[in-house]
């Protein structure tokens, strides 16, 4: 088997093949985890608008636990995921239905879980088994586990030939029973080369990291703010390891084209200004001068910010979506199973529009 791309989806798929004892080669043109999967920390949250995706996230959390054990690394903090804003009331019943430990919290507990947040009395909830994903440690542990199976090489073409799939890369040409293309923003380019047109919205994104003022708290939850109380309705934030810094971003992305050009190059600078303003208003526990920045591409499906689907063609699998870090271990096992000939779960087929609310 082969996997194109060593971002978190490719690494997770390859590791899941390893768990099955299946030989695998992973092609990566750069450093593992340097593209959309780059930078410290991500939010692990169970809450989604689509109950199917809530269930998939519960499955993925269980795989995170198993891999933490196997790899000897804590992959998600124990600090929980907090959400504030009226959307909380719609999230809680879906979480209860899926058996997720989540509950409303009052202002006192909110201040405990998020000591750097300004006073806020509106709706707030805690997802107890959510938390901050240790992204760098996870990429390093999976890369180490794969060892020489991960090669630094750029894939130029993939092509179904005589019941197999041919992969041509900078330094070689090989054939495989099945190939999973986890090439992030390049996945739809490979799909087009085998006649598949994927409805991917390309965009660019920026996130800023701020140092905490004073002592690092023992526990620091992640944050999603849709309240508008502090001037924004799409804020997400997660602590970096050690809780000495907090990475804050807007869930918006600037519009882009498949050729890599941006619709409005100035948007990223606007987003930086909006995040900095938000931090000054909402997070007085942070030093307002950012200590780090993360720019990256994002690939979204038209039916939801959290949309996820897998296209299939003659031994090739093309997973596409956004906010995939939390889904990667569970998705990786499903892609490994499909690469080994098992049926792809119906919910992952494009027509299922996984992630769309109210489907
Ligand atoms: C700032 C930011 C914040 C985010 N926050 C969250 C969050 O809180 N929670 C969450 O779950 N998700 C979050 N996400 C989304 C998540 O990080 C991505 O969905 C996920 O990392 C995508 O992983 P991937 O493996 O699909 O893509 P990538 O990480 O982009 O990996 C694709 C890999 O393929 C390689 N590649 C491409 N073409 C070739 C080729 N021709 N030959 C060889 N290799 C190739 C690339 O070099 C790259 O390493 C966030 C993303 C960003 C950028």
Q: What is the DSSP string of 342-355?
A: PPPPGGGSGGG-BT
Same domain, 154 and 277: no
* pLDDT at 256 (0 to 100): 83
pLDDT tens digit string along 306-322?
999 999 999 999 999 99
| Residue 61 covered by a domain | no
Same domain, 222 and 176: no
User: What does the alpha-carbon distance between residue 355 and residue 359 come to, in Å, rounded to a whole number?
Assistant: 8
- Which distant-in-sequence residues (6+ apart) come within 8 Å of 101 by Cβ? 127, 128, 129
∠ CA 175-182-251, rounded to 5°: 170
Decide: 309 and 320 in contact? Cβ < 8 Å: yes
CATH number at residue 191: 3.50.50.60
Domain that holds residue 221: 81-128+201-300
Task: Tell me which residue has its CA closest to atom 17 in ligand 1.
Answer: 37
Residues in contact with ligand 1 by the CB-under-6-Å rule are: 4-10, 27-30, 34-37, 39, 42-43, 154-155, 182-184, 186, 205, 207, 236, 249, 294, 296, 298, 322-326
| Residue 359 covered by a domain | no
Ligand 1 binding pocket mutation candidate from 33, 83, 185, 325 (most atoms within 8 A of CB): 325
- Which residue stretches of the chain have pLDDT < 50? none
Q: In the chain, how many domains are there?
A: 2
Record the pTM.
0.98
User: What does the alpha-carbon distance between residue 34 and residue 258 come to, in Å, rounded to a whole number?
Assistant: 20
Task: Tell me which residue has its CA closest to atom 4 in ligand 1.
Answer: 42
Same domain, 121 and 214: yes
**Does residue 68 sit in helix, strand or coil?**
helix
Same domain, 106 and 213: yes
CATH number at residue 99: 3.30.9.10
Same domain, 209 and 119: yes
Same domain, 144 and 249: no
**Does residue 274 sit in helix, strand or coil?**
helix
Same domain, 294 and 150: no
* pLDDT at 117 (0 to 100): 98
* pLDDT at 237 (0 to 100): 98
Same domain, 341 and 231: no
* pLDDT at 238 (0 to 100): 98
In b/e form, how buried is each residue of 79-107, taking b as 16+ CB within 10 angstroms? bbbbbbbebbeebbebbeebebebeebee
pLDDT tens digit string along 212-267?
999 999 999 999 999 999 999 999 999 999 999 999 999 988 888 778 788 888 99
């Amino acid at each position: 088997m082969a996997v194109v791309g060593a971002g978190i989806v490719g690494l997770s798929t390859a590791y899941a093949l390893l768990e099955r004892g299946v030989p695998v080669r992973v092609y990566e043109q750069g450093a593992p985890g340097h593209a959309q999967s780059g930078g410290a920390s991500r939010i692990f949250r169970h809450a989604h608008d689509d109950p199917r995706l809530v269930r998939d996230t519960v499955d993925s959390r269980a795989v995170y636990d198993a891999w933490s054990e196997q790899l000897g690394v804590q992959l998600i903090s124990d600090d929980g995921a907090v959400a504030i804003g009226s959307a909380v009331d719609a999230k809680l019943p879906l979480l209860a239905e899926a058996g997720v430990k989540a509950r409303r919290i009052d202002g006192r507990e909110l201040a405990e879980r998020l000591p750097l947040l300004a006073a806020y009395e509106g709706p707030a909830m805690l997802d107890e088994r959510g938390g901050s994903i240790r992204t760098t440690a996870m990429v390093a542990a999976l890369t180490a586990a794969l060892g020489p199976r991960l090669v630094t090489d750029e894939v130029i073409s993939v092509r179904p030939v005589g019941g197999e799939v041919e992969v041509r890369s900078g330094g070689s040409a090989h054939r495989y029973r099945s190939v999973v293309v986890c090439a992030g923003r390049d996945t739809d380019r490979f799909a087009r080369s085998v006649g598949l047109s994927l409805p991917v919205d390309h965009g660019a994104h920026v996130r800023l990291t701020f140092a905490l003022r004073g002592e690092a708290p023992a526990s620091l939850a992640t944050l999603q703010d849709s309240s508008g109380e502090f001037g924004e309705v799409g804020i997400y934030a997660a602590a970096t390891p050690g809780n000495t810094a907090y990475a804050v971003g807007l869930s918006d992305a600037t519009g882009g084209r498949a050729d890599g050009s941006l619709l409005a190059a100035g948007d990223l600078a606007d987003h930086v200004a909006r995040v900095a303003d938000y931090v000054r208003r909402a997070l007085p526990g942070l030093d307002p001068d950012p200590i780090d920045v993360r720019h990256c591409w994002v690939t979204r499906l038209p039916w939801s910010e959290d949309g996820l689907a897998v296209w299939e063609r003659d031994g090739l699998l093309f997973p596409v979506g956004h906010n995939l870090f939390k889904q990667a271990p569970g998705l990786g096992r499903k892609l490994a199973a499909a690469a080994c000939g098992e049926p792809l779960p119906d919910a992952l087929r494009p027509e299922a529009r996984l992630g769309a609310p109210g489907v």
